[in-house]
Structure 1
């Protein structure tokens, strides 16, 4: 099952006012391995306007090809080349979503489903319902309610655990 990160552009209308599903420019970015980015990492990054990532990939690929030509460094060149391809395939979509968020896009939702059509259906069916409350950690009220005075406040992984049984 795949996860789709749903981003809306800056200045988009409120979710409850959107009637046409594509009018607001919503982007669905699948989280997972990208075969296109694996086969053509630099071209994939250029297509998605990840300029610095593409330049880094081109430089590393050139370095790897030059190492492969040198006697005794073939394995190192192959390792660098394979590393660039795997890194682009695994982290390319994250870099794309982060670039959009840095440019003011808002992370609207995260949907886990088998395909894009179902993710669109789930997301846009929620628009007609009442908007959900923002669930980011800045809105969580975690007050220290434990009696352990040596470590006041919440503990890593065990919120409010005071050590007793």
Structure 2
């Protein structure tokens, strides 16, 4: 089973099919495409800021390895480790970017593939509106008048001062 996060715009109303059409599912876990094609993968997913920062880090990392005179096999291993880190954190970068753009995580689903996850997330999103409609809302409590002797600064009670 794979885990997916569901991202919807902040103004999405539960049960609105048009709102769910804008949903985005992000699979959690290692991303092989981001491992092999880090900057291109980020540009494909419109992660502009992450792509720019990754490009800067990759170039600076390569220049630092050359400046330090690191052997080619060790430099290749270090680059492989950096690419592994990018592959591990690629989904997190997508989630961060969606949250920054006003599409926070609204649900997490586990399913064998993307289509099953989409169907499950859609069903849960539509059922959430039915559940919200069936729960009665209690009436608001009447305002309580504050008595002068009940108000005490910094949490100290009036009885403790005697």
**Alpha-carbon distance in structure 2 between the residues aligned to 1:19 and 1:50:** 27
Write out the 4+ residue segments of structure 1 that deviate beyond 4 Å after TM superposition.
63-66, 68-72
Quote the offset at 1:69 in angstroms. Answer: 9.4
Query: Does residue 89 of structure 1 match 2:87?
Result: yes
Match of 2:126 in 1: 128
SS of equivalent residue, structure 2 residue 86: helix
**Aligned residue pair count:** 130
Give 1:78's match in structure 2, choosing from 76, 79, 82.
Answer: 76
Relative to structure 1, the CA distance from residue 115 to residue 69 in structure 2 (aligned partners, 3 Å threshold; closer, same or farther) is same
Do the aligned residues in 2 keep the contact of 1:64 with 1:77 (CA within 8 Å)? no
TM-score by length of 1: 0.66
> Structure 1: which 5+ runs fail to align?
134-165
> Structure 2: which 5+ runs fail to align?
133-162
TM-score by length of 2: 0.67
Quote the offset at 1:76 in angstroms. Answer: 3.9
Greater relative CO, 1 or 2 (CA 8 Å, sep 6+): 2
Query: Does residue 6 of structure 1 match 2:3?
Result: no
- Deviation sequence 1:95-139 (CA, Å, 0-9, x none): 110111122213211001110111111111123324478xxxxxx
Relative to structure 1, the CA distance from residue 129 to residue 38 in structure 2 (aligned partners, 3 Å threshold; closer, same or farther) is same
